[in-house]
Amino acid sequence: MPALNILGRALFLACSWTWCIGMFLPVFLIGDFGVWGWVAFAIPNVFGAMAVGLIVKTPERSRAIVERHANAMFVFSIITIAFHLYFLGQILRVMHPEGNGIGTLWWSPAFVLVVGLIAVALARLKQRGWMIASVVTFAISIIAGALMLTRSTGSALEAPTMIGVFGVGDLVWATPALCFGFLLCPHLDLTFHRTRQEAPGRPGDLAFIFGFCVFFLALILFTFFYAASFLGFALISSWIALHFAAQSAFTMGAHWRELRTRAVPLEFFVVLAGLAMWALPWPVRGFRFGYDMFLFAYALPFPSYVWIVMVPRGWDHHRAVRVWLWSQLPATPLFVAGFLGQMWWLIPIAIAIPLAAPAVLSRRFARD
């Protein structure tokens, strides 16, 4: 595989994983915990995503995983697309909460529509087209950063404050959720498995290494520098919408391509877009609540599924799914109280439940 092909796949991985999570969760974490919130976000995110290509070493292994867990991966992609539509439908209003300029309620549906149509068009590209789209998408983000520097005298990109609303001790309690989610969720990403299947051996390994340790890290470092603007310490530049649009369109398109191969009709995408439009009248102050509701899926049920059902233990699939479902019953209220109620000490307890579930609950179901 030529070096340019490896580079193209590395850029594809970086852009497909630069979600509304990578583009905005660090903003919230920095506001809550200061710069250490970004560090706690970045380390497990980079290494968890890279590890998929290094653990799932062969195309045959990847295809077997996708075949066995197709339903869970289908849901993962659907929730991911829905999350981006919600984000796109709200972010312009978050940027301009007073309703001025592009942040008016009327511009938000147009923003969702345009980015959604680009995603649908991207989903129909062939492999070579995706490599070109990867380069273009990454370049658009770089251009957006340059415009933010030159068009706002640099004030839109500033290092954030060292101190957040909560202390470092609270971050210690919250970090297990970040590690649990970012180390395990990438194994459900169909775009990662496609890359592993199309790039076997060392070239594929290099694509994952460079994709996340270089290009994806650069993109979330961009988030680090514009976080201060959304936290009220610097000017919000409208050019950042270009970055949000490009990366969201690419991610949705990449996941929609995978769903199209499984005969999911376009009408399903239209329904998701309609739900995003329904969320538009929400008050701006409710943006984080809706964001956190989506984020919950990647913090508890999805990584729990990977740990309990996907990790080989010699169980039958039905038994593993039952253990997973039972583990969510006590873990969910504890996690919600810890995360949304900001009782951070409850989060490690909630995460410990699915981690211990294979050893505890499997014996009960083995007797059924």
Which amino acid is present at 43?
A: I
Extract the tokens encoding 65. 């995983």
**What integer pLDDT is reported at residue 282 of this predicted model?**
60
What span, in angstroms and rounded, lies between the C-alpha atoms of 105 and 98?
10
What span, in angstroms and rounded, lies between the C-alpha atoms of 188 and 207?
18
Residue 322's Cβ-side half-sphere holds a number of Cα atoms within 13 Å equal to 13
pLDDT in tens, 92-128: 888 876 654 444 566 788 888 899 899 989 999 988 8
pLDDT in tens, 271-308: 666 566 555 556 666 788 889 989 999 999 999 999 99
Residue 290's Cβ-side half-sphere holds a number of Cα atoms within 13 Å equal to 24
Average pLDDT value for residue range 7-21: 96
Range with lowest mean pLDDT among 51-65, 149-163, 350-364: 149-163
- Mean residue pLDDT across the chain: 88
DSSP conformation letters of 284-319: GGGHHHHHHHHHHHHHTHHHHHIIIIIS--S--HHH
**What integer pLDDT is reported at residue 103 of this predicted model?**
47
pTM: 0.91
DSSP conformation letters of 204-244: HHHHHHHIIIIIIHHHHHHHHHHHHHHTTSSPPPTTHHHHH
pLDDT at residue 36 tops 90: yes
What are the start-end ranges of the H helices in the chain?
3-16, 20-33, 35-55, 59-68, 70-95, 107-122, 127-151, 168-184, 190-198, 201-210, 217-230, 240-260, 266-278, 287-299, 301-305, 317-339, 346-366
**What integer pLDDT is reported at residue 8 of this predicted model?**
93
% residues pLDDT > 70 (the chain): 88
**What integer pLDDT is reported at residue 92 of this predicted model?**
86
**What integer pLDDT is reported at residue 182 of this predicted model?**
97
Assign 232 a pLDDT band (cuts: 50, 70, 90): confident
